[in-house]
Amino acid sequence: MAAGFIKSAKDCKTQNLATCKGLSQRLHIAYPRGGGGRVPKSGHYPHEYPQGGYPHPQKIDELYDTVTLSKLYPNPKLKKLLNVDLQLSSHKIKPAGGGRAYVNFKNEEARDKALTVLHKYKWGKCVMSAEIATPVQDPLLRKQEQREKKSLNSVEMKLPIAERIEKSVTPYASLSYEEQLRKKEKIAQDILRKYSKELLYANPELHEFIKFHQKRRNGLICEFDPIVPAPVTENYRNKCEFTIGMNPETESACVGFRLASYKQGCMAVAPVGHLRHLPLAMKDLVQAFEKYVQQSSYSPFSPLTHEGVWRQLTVRTTRNNDLLVVVVIHPQSMLQEELIELKNGVRYLFTDGGAKDLKVSSLYFQQYAQRERGVDPEYELLYGEEYITETILGRKFRVSPDAFVQVNTAAGEVLYETVGKLADLDKNSNMLDICCGTGTIGICLADHCHHVYGIEMVKKAVEDAKVNAEENGLTNITVFEGKAEDIMLTVLNQCGEDKNSVGIVDPPRAGLHKNVVTALRKYEKMKRIVYVSCDPNNARGNFVSLGRPESRTYNGECFIPVKAVPVDLFPHTQHFELIILFERWDSNKWRRIMDGNPLPEDEEYFKRIPQLPQVGHNNAADIETIEIPAADQTNDDTTSEVNCEEEVGPITKKPRSDKD
């Protein structure tokens, strides 16, 4: 596509362009940054392209113009000028800031016509001019150049690719498992300390409660259990998505993991056969498919050139030794006959070819070209069953290609048991399973409560959850389809006023939508929330929002953290799950506890509260600081830290009076 923009006379001068007249505006035609069109194949590595950026502009399929405007001529007027008055058939107009806008055309003919018409065109008080811009350097190339300058002599870049991928994917693999657990436990504690300071800033009304716990728990805001280890630490992953690309050492096709993301300037793929967390059957399958790709007439897909066919290999396993495989390709401009031939070849590989001994249970095929927003590519079953089956805590679950199941099945069972203990369910309570996926948590805990209400936005997951509940003989589970923030109030209204409700929250890394938090706050029957976070550093915003003071936005008493338990689901990596039990704030209850006069039902909790350390002992000095892994997304709710060193009185149990 072609594009143009109008610039000020000053800017035009710096670009070595002719000066503008009238309102000092001009039209500038440029090619799009990456993704505007396909770049001719020159290999799979960006260093093979000219240093200036993309290959010659005329070889890019789509061209575009960019136009920059003054405030006198906003976008609608420009669109009318181009498409109605001048009949230039622009494809898209995108503002570029500073009074500029990009105007896209579908082909060179339309672009050249616009170039001729708009050059020196008088529009109101201004005279426009137009020309083709120089190519913009691909962001991948720019990232690579920056990285090469910084790490030209770095130790890591000199390591063999096998060691580099091990350090990238399983950075704790060289540590003993005890040391791994110690580091993760410290990270969890540091996150909770940051959270306690943020909550204190957000809700000063909780000042005494927060200080009470901080002084007795080394800066922590709540009771903290030691990290729960994973029962299985080797070969534990039941799902992996392997990238198909090029191995820079062998310069051949490779099925494995990227050394870094494309955004970080990397397309190299490294082998994975030596990684400790992958099961043997998965490694054997990857090796067999890699050999098949290397012998294929099609090359791996390149995110830089957008050429090539093989994109990804997804493998799922169960403890029953079932294997589900998804082969993902980019169809490019394949004819139907070519696609059928490719599918038949893949099917033969796993049924009668070199991978037949692996006994694949389900083989799927997926065409993934340019993704449309809100539309996921369909899965086509080439061979075998529609799903495989996994057993979790005695319950059977369907595992389809995109179903969510904890990647460490044995550790997932420990996670669900821990959630159940913290939730403290009984036959008079309803369980609200938010972001329930295929219903694993709710189904595993359904026997301990009156009814389970699940909320899930993915239609296929909802269908699987309903089938899983039925096949396990459970009639006290209802699953609703929709975004939690949209249907939360509707679901809560069905929970019944005569039952207490306990929320189980296991959201994706981005956390809960603000509307979900406000709905939970507003529903008075919700007394406890168990929040399961795979990225607790990023979830701190949700934690703080649950505890903000009552307001127009946050109706209802806040939730305060009572207990936190880290669970290790990902041995040899820096990741873990953090479970936090939140309870609805009850000022009378906590006044009694802090005064040493708890009610009978709070006696056990009271006994577990540590005594206040001796005066003059600085707990902070004994706290080891460990770097917290960066969150995937910016935490908008993170607040600034405040001083937390004020004294709170000692805790001693007082005799209970008749008035109490």
Among the listed residues 413, 442, 435, the one whose alpha carbon sits nearest the alpha carbon of residue 481? 435
User: Could you tell me the two tokens for 422?
Assistant: 């913290």
- Short-list 280, 282, 276, 283, CA closest to 174: 276
**How distant is the alpha carbon of residue 131 from its chain centre?**
42
Q: Is 336 annotated as a binding residue?
A: no
Which residue carries 């580091």 as its tokens? 183
- How many Å is the maximal CA-CA distance in the chain? 95
Of these residues, 254, 436, 534, 558, which one is catalytic? 534
Q: How far apart are CA 449 and CA 476, in angstroms?
A: 9
Give the CA-trace dihedral at 298, 300, 302, 303, to 10 degrees. 120
The CA R_g of the chain, rounded to the nearest whole Å, is 30
534 is catalytic: yes
Report the distance separating Cα 301 and Cα 260, nearest Å. Answer: 16
Give dist(CA 462, CA 631) in Å, integer. 29
Question: How many Å apart are CA 35 and CA 10, to the nearest integer?
Answer: 30
Residue 487 CA to chain centroid, in angstroms?
22
Strand ranges (E), 52-199: 64-68, 92-97, 100-104, 122-123, 126-127
- Please name the residue that has the structure tokens 């940051």: 194
Residue 81 DSSP class: I
Residue 583, annotated ligand binder? no
Is 481 annotated in a binding site? The answer is no
Distances (CA, A) of 499 to 343, 426, 490, 502, 550: 54, 10, 16, 10, 24
Its sign, for the CA torsion 169, 172, 174, 176, is negative
Q: Which helix (H) or strand (E) holds 314?
A: strand 310-317
Please list the active-site residues: 534
Which residues are documented as binding site?
406, 456, 506
Q: Which residues sit in the known binding site for S-adenosyl-L-methionine?
A: 406, 456, 506
